[in-house]
């Protein structure tokens, strides 16, 4: 019985070393928690291997230096990816050892999540525009906020984000002013 308890404790320790905690903007963390499933045993996000975020995290994982330890505070817990890529079944980067993400890596992960967020938001709004505006843009944004359970960002901020994107996508031409000559 005592041996089973030791084994369970060892498994929990191993599982805890295969997750990392990062700090990103709150609305992006809420989006990621809604978009990806959560692992029940560790509480971390299980990111599918088909996602760009999975490959981004896998390429940024590194061994912690002697003076650095994985962060213990933050707003997003991520289960680190484990890829079997060698012939003998060993991983090139075992998440048990490669469980450190530097500040630069966290910024890149945040940028990747922001790109996914903006893609989803802009896609929904452009589809609404393409189908002849069956809903107002504000209603579409409120539906988006409800779907992803976002509380850390306002609907006005998302609308402003979309209008800036649309302005970059197809800028308005300023008509030249021509003074008419009176003869």
Structure tokens at 165: 């994107």
pLDDT of residue 43: 87
Task: Give the tens place of pLDDT for each residue, 70-127.
Answer: 667 899 999 988 776 655 655 577 788 888 899 999 999 999 999 999 999 999 999 9
Q: Does the CA dihedral 121-122-128-133 come out positive or negative?
A: positive
Question: Are 109 and 134 within 8 A, CB to CB?
Answer: no
pLDDT of residue 65: 80
| Confidence label for 166 from pLDDT (cuts 50, 70 and 90) | very high
**Model confidence at 23: pLDDT above 70:** yes
For the segment 169-173, the average pLDDT, to the nearest whole number, is: 86
Structure tokens at 142: 């409120």
Task: Give the tens place of pLDDT for each residue, 44-75.
Answer: 999 998 999 999 999 999 888 877 766 678 99
Question: Are 15 and 41 within 8 A, CB to CB?
Answer: yes
**CB pairs under 8 A, 24+ apart, for 128-137?**
137/162
Structure tokens at 172: 């308005």
């Amino acid at each position: 019985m005592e041996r089973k308890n030791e084994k369970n404790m060892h498994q929990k320790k191993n599982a805890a070393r295969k997750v990392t905690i990062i700090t990103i903007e709150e609305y992006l963390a809420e989006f990621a928690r809604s978009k990806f499933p959560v692992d029940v045993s560790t509480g971390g996000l299980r990111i599918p291997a088909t996602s760009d975020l999975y490959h981004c995290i896998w390429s940024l994982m590194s061994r912690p230096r002697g003076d650095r330890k994985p962060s213990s505070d933050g707003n997003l817990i991520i289960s680190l990816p484990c890829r079997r890529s060698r012939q003998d079944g060993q991983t090139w980067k075992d998440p048990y050892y490669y469980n450190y993400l530097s500040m630069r890596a966290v910024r890149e992960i945040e940028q990747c999540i922001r790109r996914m967020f903006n893609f989803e938001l802009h896609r929904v709004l452009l589809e609404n525009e393409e189908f002849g505006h069956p809903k107002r843009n504000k209603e579409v944004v409120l539906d988006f906020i409800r779907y992803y359970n976002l509380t850390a960002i306002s609907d006005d901020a998302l609308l402003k984000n979309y209008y800036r994107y649309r302005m970059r996508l197809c800028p308005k031409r300023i008509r030249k002013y021509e003074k008419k000559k009176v003869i």
